[in-house]
Amino acid sequence: QVQLVESGGGLVQAGGSLRLSCVASGRTFSTYYMGWVRQAPGKEREFVAAISYNGGRANIADSVKGRFTISRDNAKNTVYLQMNRLKPEDTAVYYCAADRVAVTRTRAEHWGQGTQVTVSS
């Protein structure tokens, strides 16, 4: 139905920035609520951000609010996560997710394979 491919992860120094991208297959991208969920080693998954079908509504986790922003470009079937002022605690695998109703820590109809973000101190 929908395939999600993340990119943009890597190793950065604390205080640096990264932009993650998630490209979705299919012709119905705009009908999906998109989001990002992360998981650090030894920890449970944590909701990061989500954005509504046409970008009119966004939810950002308190832990990253003010530093991360989520956006989408429906013409490119792509959702972005701009991460600024990165901290070592942001180190995790970041997963792109899509759902026709909502994206939470555990809920999504489709998941990407994840992209590693490592922030050095």
pLDDT digits (tens, 9 = 90+) for 84-113: 999 999 999 999 999 998 888 888 999 999
Confidence of residue 80 (pLDDT cuts 50, 70, 90): very high
Per-residue pLDDT of 14-45, as tens digits, reads: 999 999 999 999 778 889 999 999 999 999 99
* pLDDT tens per residue across span 105-121: 888 999 999 999 999 99
Close Cβ partners of 65 (under 8 Å, ≥ 6 residues apart): none
Torsion 79-101-54-87 (CA) sign: negative
